[in-house]
Amino acid sequence: MMKISIIIPVFNEEKTVIELLKKVNKQKSDDYFIEIIVIDDGSSDNSKKLLTTNKDLYSKFISLEKNLGKGGAVIEGLRVANGDFILFQDADLEYNPEDYKKIFKVIDEFNAEVVIGSRNLSPEYTRVYNYFHKVGNKFITGLFNLLFNTTFTDIYSCYLCIKRDLVNPEKLKSKGWEQHAEILATAIKNSSVYYEVPISYSGRSFEEGKKIRGRHVFAVIYMILKKKIFK
């Protein structure tokens, strides 16, 4: 039976984290085993309290005393993951865990080693979101495709699923938003079978708690170039 570790970094997501975990738990199946790993990244709201009082909603819980950034929390999750595959999940309800089955299907049927859930492949629904975020995502996706000879449509989707042995967490250098590009580039270099599947998306506004900002795109571009230049 295939085992998937779901890594969920949490930072000040008291309004959504429990609902998100309930949705993740509904995806459990007799066809595969799901390990749910939650990392509280030094939250200053009630996220940690909610998580410690709902232990039945996850398999492993890591509490960080101070905020390490999303990438730092991801590294901690990767260190304890036991799954054959790793799937990254944000705690903000922008992405719907019901789309897991699409990702797992291509792994099972086509032996995919890397799968991205794309918001740009005719999803069932997509909330209209920030124009400049979409432009930035298209630019970095195009740059990545050019340098790594791929045809992805949405490399900065949260839903990235990789075979666990493709990426060694001890060798990851970044702890910011650019880490996603580092993980994807490393996985692509070490694999030969990668797919995309359509997923739905309900993006948040800044007022609703969205954390990524335009300035992060520069760090992402630098990381993509770095991973291509330095083998």
- Which of the four pLDDT bands, split at 50, 70 and 90, describes residue 134? confident
- Range with the lowest mean pLDDT among 64-68, 125-129, 181-185? 125-129
CATH (domain of 101): 3.90.550.10
CA-wise closest residue to 117 among 178, 169, 194, 190:
194
Spatial separation of the C-alpha atoms in residues 50 and 45, rounded to whole Å: 10
- When pLDDT is averaged across residues 52-76 and rounded to a whole number, the result is 97
pLDDT digits (tens, 9 = 90+) for 82-125: 999 999 999 999 999 999 999 999 999 999 999 999 999 876 66
3-state secondary structure of 63: strand
Q: Quick one: what percent of the chain has pLDDT higher than 90? A: 81
Q: Quick one: what percent of the chain has pLDDT higher than 70? A: 89
Using the 8-state DSSP alphabet, how is residue 146 labeled?
Answer: H
The predicted structure's pLDDT at residue 130: 64
CA-wise closest residue to 144 among 198, 231, 222:
222
pLDDT digits (tens, 9 = 90+) for 1-30: 899 999 999 999 999 999 999 999 999 999
The predicted structure's pLDDT at residue 128: 60
H or E element in which residue 130 lies: none
pLDDT digits (tens, 9 = 90+) for 197-217: 999 998 745 455 455 555 778
In terms of residue numbers, what domain contains 175? 2-229
CA-wise closest residue to 26 among 128, 106, 116, 97:
97
Q: Are 163 and 191 in contact (CB under 8 A)?
A: yes
Tell me the pLDDT of the chain averaged across its residues: 91
Tally of domains in the chain: 1
pLDDT beyond 60 at 196: yes
